[in-house]
């Protein structure tokens, strides 16, 4: 049976600004998203039946319809019934490296890989834009995970404008395995605490959303200035997550004190915290120092770097 194996990179937020409420109930956002080398591997294989099956060794990853990868396959079957009838169902195997419930778009990038894999399996010939449009119906991060690289994201995060690829920047990521932060809770709590500052006029929302295009961090990205990027990191959700989750705050504060750290921030709604390091050697040293300071086996630490791509096919 035919199959494809795909690399599905995680992402971090270099910038996350909450602008206001949208008519659809979501928040209007201005973000800068960045792909990283930490990645899952997804195998998509044709089945002779009309079933969709998901396998994953990770105990926290569901294999039923609640898995976004399953829903991606289901979406393709609904959107392309003739191809589904002709080629049959799919078996999806997820080799998990991205930590679960980490604010790193692990579920979204798995779904993105399934969309790309089924497009290849069924010979659909979809463009990247068409795949991104499908992905947006599954979740706000899915379109970016397909494209990858460095991008400005506006709307609820699905409207993308690519930025020049960054030269590799070394990162250290930290996440408590058992700790989860609900994304809906984070945004709801932010609305409760800071909703009075929201822009209400829809025209002003659009104006504010476009303001990030001339922001200081975008200039730093254009200049390939890792030190300046590190100084301009920003995440509005830290205002509600850090006070409520002292372990996340502790990680952020510990990273900030490490030699060789250019900047540190929580990614997305957390609870992963990342640090930008001056070099790979210093990143490894930072990881070791944090492990010695917090010898808790529940704490996962990763050394990785930025990457320029989204979903990629593994050469056979």
- Name the residue with tokens 């250290």: 172
**End-to-end Cα, the chain, rounded Å:** 15
Per the annotation, does 270 bind a ligand?
no
Catalytic residue among 141, 175, 232, 287: 141
- Name the residue with tokens 């379109």: 143
Q: How far apart are CA 55 and CA 63, in angstroms?
A: 6
Q: How far apart are CA 155 and CA 31, in angstroms?
A: 9
Catalytic residue among 11, 175, 232, 287: 11
Per the annotation, does 3 bind a ligand?
no
Per the annotation, does 54 bind a ligand?
no
- 11 an active-site residue? yes
What radius of gyration, in Å, describes the C-alpha atoms of the chain? Answer: 19
**DSSP per-residue letters across 20-36:** EE-TTSSEEEEEEEEEE
Torsion angles phi and psi, residue 185, rounded to 5: -60, -45
* Contact of 239 with 194, CB cutoff 8 Å: yes
Per the annotation, does 131 bind a ligand?
no
* Contact of 169 with 276, CB cutoff 8 Å: yes
Per the annotation, does 107 bind a ligand?
yes
Q: What six digits make up the tokens of 218?
A: 């975008």
Per the annotation, does 49 bind a ligand?
no
CA torsion, points 252, 274, 111, 143, in degrees to nearest 10? 100
Per the annotation, does 167 bind a ligand?
no
Per the annotation, does 99 bind a ligand?
yes
Q: What is the sign, positive or negative, of the torsion defined by CA atoms of 15, 21, 22, 26?
A: positive
Per the annotation, does 103 bind a ligand?
yes
Q: Strand 234-235 vs strand 3-21: parallel, antiparallel, or unpaired?
A: parallel
Per the annotation, does 25 bind a ligand?
no
Q: How far apart are CA 301 and CA 299, in angstroms?
A: 7
* Contact of 33 with 75, CB cutoff 8 Å: no
Per the annotation, does 106 bind a ligand?
yes
List beta partners, residue 64: none
Active-site positions read 11, 141
Which residues fall in the annotated binding site?
A: 99-109
Binding site for ATP, residues?
A: 99-109
């Amino acid at each position: 049976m035919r199959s494809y194996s795909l690399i599905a990179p995680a992402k971090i937020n270099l910038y996350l600004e909450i602008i206001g409420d949208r008519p659809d109930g979501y928040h209007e956002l201005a973000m800068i998203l960045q792909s990283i080398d930490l990645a899952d591997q997804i195998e998509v294989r044709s089945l002779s039946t009309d079933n969709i099956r998901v396998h994953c060794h990770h105990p926290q990853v569901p294999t039923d319809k609640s898995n976004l990868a399953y829903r991606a396959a289901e979406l393709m079957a609904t959107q392309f019934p003739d191809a589904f009838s002709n080629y049959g169902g799919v078996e999806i195997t997820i080799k998990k490296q991205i930590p679960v419930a980490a604010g790193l778009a692990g579920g979204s990038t798995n779904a993105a890989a399934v969309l790309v894999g089924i497009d290849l399996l069924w010979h659909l010939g979809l463009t990247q834009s068409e795949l991104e449009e499908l992905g947006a119906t599954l979740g706000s991060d899915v379109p970016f995970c397909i494209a990858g690289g460095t991008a400005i994201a506006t709307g609820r995060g699905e409207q993308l404008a690519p930025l020049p690829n960054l030269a590799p920047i070394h990162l250290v990521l930290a996440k408590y395995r058992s700790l989860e932060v609900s994304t809906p809770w984070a945004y709801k709590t932010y609305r409760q605490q800071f909703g009075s500052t929201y822009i209400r006029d829809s025209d002003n929302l659009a104006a504010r959303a476009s303001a990030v295009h001339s922001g200081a961090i975008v200039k730093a990205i254009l200049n390939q200035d890792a030190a300046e990027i590190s100084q301009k990191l920003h995440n509005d959700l830290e205002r509600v997550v850090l006070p409520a989750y002292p372990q996340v705050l502790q990680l952020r504060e510990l990273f900030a004190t490490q030699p060789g750290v250019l900047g540190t921030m929580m990614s997305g709604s957390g609870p992963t915290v990342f640090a930008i390091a001056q070099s790979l050697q210093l990143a490894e040293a930072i990881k070791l120092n944090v492990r010695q300071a917090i010898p808790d086996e529940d704490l996962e630490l990763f050394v990785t770097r930025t990457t320029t791509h989204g979903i990629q096919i593994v050469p056979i």
